[in-house]
Amino acid sequence: MTDRLTHLDQSGHAHMVDVSDKNISHRSATAQAIIEMLPSTLTKVVEGGLPKGDVIATARIAGIQACKKTADLIPLCHPLMLTKVSVEIDVISETQLKVLCTCKLSGKTGVEMEALTGASVTALTLYDMCKAVDKGIIIKEVALLEKSGGKSGDWSKSNA
């Protein structure tokens, strides 16, 4: 781990990190988001009772698309050739859904931002599709859970 911000040059100006000399390695990252809503809203999500259609399928596709567009959204991210994106959406209580987004590739830079973007956009899409019946939905605990590969090696939130 470095003790300086890698996206700042010697003068403190923002720049895109040069990864030209880095080795290609297998890399993966998993991020989460928790979405909290009224029990009645969650029931409608699970049973398909919302006017906008299949909320879970739409949110999953939005999350996958977001991973692929991360470099367009986060200014200093490298465009990446992702080889795998998975988005899981699970009920974890009577009021909460948990999104897990995992991204993988073989490349010179990590996929943490892609996983975080995918989890975030999945959660935002869930909000968008449910807001007509529940404007008080809360998106929380957006976090990187684990990453593997690259110079810094493996990392897990549970071991941090």
Q: Which of 3, 90, 128, 154 is catalytic?
A: 128
Residue 84 burial class via C-beta count within 10 angstroms: exposed 0-12, middle 13-18, buried 19 and up: exposed
CB-based contact 113:147 (threshold 8 Å): no
Q: Which two tokens stand for residue 30?
A: 């998993």
72 is catalytic: no
Q: Which two tokens stand for residue 156?
A: 């897990």
Question: What one-character-per-residue DSSP string does 13-42 give?
Answer: -B-----TTSPPEEEEEEEEEEEE--HHHH
Eight-state DSSP code of residue 77: P
Enzyme catalytic residues: 128
